[in-house]
Amino acid sequence: MASGDDDALVLVDPRTGGVVGDLACTPVAAVVSQVAAARVAGALWAARPLLDRMAVVRALGTALLARGSDLVAVLGAEIGKPSGEAWTSEVVTLGELFDHWLAVIEDELEPRSLDLNPVNYPGKRVEVVPEPLGVVALIMPWNYPIHLPMRTIVPALLAGNAVVFKPSEHAARCGALLAEVFATVLPPNLVVTVQGGPPQGAAVIAAGVDKVIFTGSVAGGRAVARQAAELLIPTALELGSKDAAIVLHDAKLGRAVEGVLWGAFHNAGQDCASVERALVDRRIVGQFTDALVARAKELRLGDDIGPLIDARAVAKVHAQVLDAVARGATLLCGGQPVEGGFFYPATVLTGVPTDCPLWTEETFGPVLPIAAFDGEDQAVAMADDSQYGLCVSVWTRDVARGEALARRVRCGVSYVNNCCFSGPMGGASWGGRKHSGHGVTGSVFGLHGLVQPRTVVVDRFFGQKELWWYPYTPALTTMAEGLVELARSGGARFTGLRKMLGGLIGRWKT
């Protein structure tokens, strides 16, 4: 963490809490020139044929996967991410991400031609062409410091954009390693890495980028949105959540327990898609709770659950737990910070009041409150009783019923008998509702946010005038009335055709 705008970042190992070094911030004053350099590089890049861009991006994917062990090592040293989690959630997913976009990008960037009425528009051709925005800014978090930026960088580059990438100050080494790989494959300045904290992020926006994609807290998202709005820069904001798992009475209990356990505690709960509320049918809530608590007690700190990112995160999580217990909640396991590093054990509670922070605010830690519901309508109401709306999961043997129920919850991603794993998929959209933000990453809908459509109209008709040009005559009115009559549902088609042809003939005579 830096104390001043241009001070060095102090690097801390969250597994021990010890300082392990520092890393220079990008001077705030230098950001304008870096964005300008990215814009020049982007213009050259956009002018290259798509097949050329694809070849370079394919080489980038190969280079990143070749450094898989290095990526896992830095994820462990900087974030404390367990090795198995780092490989599966950050490295394996890279290969899938590149494969998806390289397979679909030619079709997705194909111009769309309009089917025009040859009578109304003789000799004309209209197509909508997707063009790159220019310079896309990424202000990224620390919890998934490899796959989250790459989820946007890959399609952004393929679409012809340059990228300005600001890693989190808590993931500076991960950002530096990505930058090192970028430099071996990409043209200079096509992806510019800006190191630092909020001052550097604000400087990136102020430098006049063409879009800002931000992932982080609601407070951070508001600050980014305010600044970008002043400059009329569009944004996509992926913010917090308080995702619910709904466990129906007919769920396969063993799978539901294991799935919710992983959904709540993977990445030490530091995932906007984490299960932060388990809503369980009252008929099985006792059985489910007992089984989940038994499994939570078996999770190993360091091997299964990594540390939280810093001491402030530990304090926030613990404060929510203490507040809930003080207000009547029952602590079933965990609930106490561990000496040495920033570890917090898997924690499960019941009887959490629905107006306390542990139930209403994002915890971003390995804590799971469990509550019972009576009937599906109540389950949906409880899931929706939140300022957030990112994900929901429904657990049931009746898949059709589960899908119908999951679609009723107001959120961006619905799972049936699974949770939390679709974010890295290039073809799956990722975005929330309410305070979980707006805009989309991933899928063709995310790609739409990385291009600017241009409508191109080409006219090969060389007549003296168009039908709708001056002068406005009674014949023009008659022709227009006929066209409307032909177009409207239930219209008098013979009358419409007679008017349209009569007006057309009269129009050409004049």
Q: Are 364 and 240 in contact (CB under 8 A)?
A: yes
Active site residue 272: yes
- Cα gap 458→437, rounded to integer Å: 39
Residues 6 or more apart whose CB falls under 8 angstroms from that of 34 comprise: 26, 164, 189, 192, 194, 207
Residue 8 per-residue DSSP state: P
Give how far Cα 243 sits from Cα of 90, 215, 247, 276, 296, Å. 21, 17, 13, 5, 19
Q: Are 486 and 119 in contact (CB under 8 A)?
A: no
Residues 6 or more apart whose CB falls under 8 angstroms from that of 222 comprise: none
Q: Are 207 and 225 in contact (CB under 8 A)?
A: no
Grouping H, G, I as helix, E, B as strand and the rest as coil, residue 338 is coil
Catalytic residue among 90, 169, 238, 362: 238
Give CA torsion, residues 463, 468, 469, 474, to 10 deg: 110
- Cα gap 124→505, rounded to integer Å: 21
Grouping H, G, I as helix, E, B as strand and the rest as coil, residue 235 is strand
Catalytic residue among 25, 174, 272, 356: 272
- Cα gap 445→152, rounded to integer Å: 12
Enumerate the active-site residues: 238, 272
